[in-house]
């Protein structure tokens, strides 16, 4: 029996800010039927920030799993071996555009697609959330928020940090009115969206008052639909 294809997109927060906050991390681990799953961290978007990697191990080493990580800016181990070993792949936040450029040079994007189709769970926060969608709203450019094409494993767009950064909501609305952004998901920090087999499964909240919205356009008007949410 084939495993469900699963993606969990996190709008912000989690171990990167506080490794003691592990509600969403526990939820991710609970989605796989294995006593001690292998979880692989990919911190490319942060420039492989050492403190970020330390926080990853500080969080997941205390949970029932075996953590590991990929680096590109020192000697890189065989990517196919690391990906094949992993049950869960967690992508960190940072610069989405630079991250995808590095991945494509190393053909990691192809390995990730194969891993996804085999039923390995893909997840991530911020850049690590939007990368799985057709389009993402990103601050990879310093000047202003932009939309960019991403990997397209999930239809639609994704905007993280929706309530955390004041320019996010008006920028999404403006880009959608100008037909620069397709319909999709806006996710607050402290919230996440879980997809199974490319279909919406559920919305999750691990910070109080965080929400998830499906944002679309009808008759030149932008419509936000707040999703029912599960509190972790």
Please identify which of the residues 46, 69, 126, 210 carries the catalytic annotation: 126
Confirm whether 69 is a catalytic residue: no
In a domain, 153, yes or no: yes
User: The tokens 């769970």 sit on which residue?
Assistant: 121
In a domain, 187, yes or no: yes
Please identify which of the residues 46, 69, 147, 161 carries the catalytic annotation: 161
CATH of the domain at 72: 3.40.50.880
In a domain, 73, yes or no: yes
The pLDDT of residue 2 is 64
In a domain, 217, yes or no: yes
In a domain, 165, yes or no: yes
Domain extent at residue 83: 6-231
Strand order in the sheet with 212-218: 146-149, 133-138, 154-159, 184-187, 212-218, 221-226
* Domain count across the chain: 1
In a domain, 1, yes or no: no
The pLDDT of residue 76 is 66
Confirm whether 61 is a catalytic residue: no
In a domain, 122, yes or no: yes
In a domain, 60, yes or no: yes
Per-residue pLDDT of the chain (232 residues; tens, 9 = 90+): 567 999 999 999 999 888 888 999 999 999 999 999 999 999 999 999 999 999 999 999 999 999 999 999 876 668 999 999 999 999 999 999 999 999 999 999 999 999 999 999 999 999 999 999 999 998 877 668 889 999 999 999 999 999 988 889 999 999 999 999 999 999 999 999 999 999 999 999 999 999 999 999 998 899 999 999 999 9
- Whole-angstrom distance, CA of residue 140 vs CA of residue 132: 16
Can you say whether the dihedral through the CA atoms of 174, 177, 182, 185 is positive or negative?
positive
């Amino acid at each position: 029996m084939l495993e469900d294809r699963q993606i969990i997109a996190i709008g912000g927060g989690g171990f990167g800010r506080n490794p003691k906050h592990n509600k969403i991390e526990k939820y991710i681990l609970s989605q796989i039927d294995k006593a001690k799953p292998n979880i692989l961290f990919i911190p490319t978007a942060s420039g492989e920030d050492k403190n970020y990697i330390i926080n990853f191990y500080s969080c997941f080493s205390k949970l029932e799993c075996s953590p590991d990580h990929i680096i590109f800016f020192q000697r890189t181990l065989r990517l196919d071996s690391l990906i094949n070993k992993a049950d869960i792949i967690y992508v960190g936040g940072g610069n989405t555009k630079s991250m995808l450029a590095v991945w494509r040079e190393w053909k990691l994007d192809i390995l990730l697609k194969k891993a996804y189709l085999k039923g390995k769970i893909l997840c991530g926060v911020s850049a690590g959330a939007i990368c799985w969608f057709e389009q993402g709203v990103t601050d990879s450019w310093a000047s202003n928020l932009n939309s960019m094409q991403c990997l397209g494993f999930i239809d639609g767009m994704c905007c993280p940090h929706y309530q955390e950064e004041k320019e996010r909501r008006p920028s999404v609305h403006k880009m959608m009115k100008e037909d620069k952004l397709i319909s999709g998901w806006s996710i607050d920090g402290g919230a996440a969206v879980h997809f199974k087999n490319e279909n919406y499964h559920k919305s999750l909240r691990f910070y109080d008052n965080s929400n998830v919205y499906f944002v679309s356009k009808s008759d030149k008007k932008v419509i936000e639909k707040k999703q029912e949410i599960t509190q972790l």
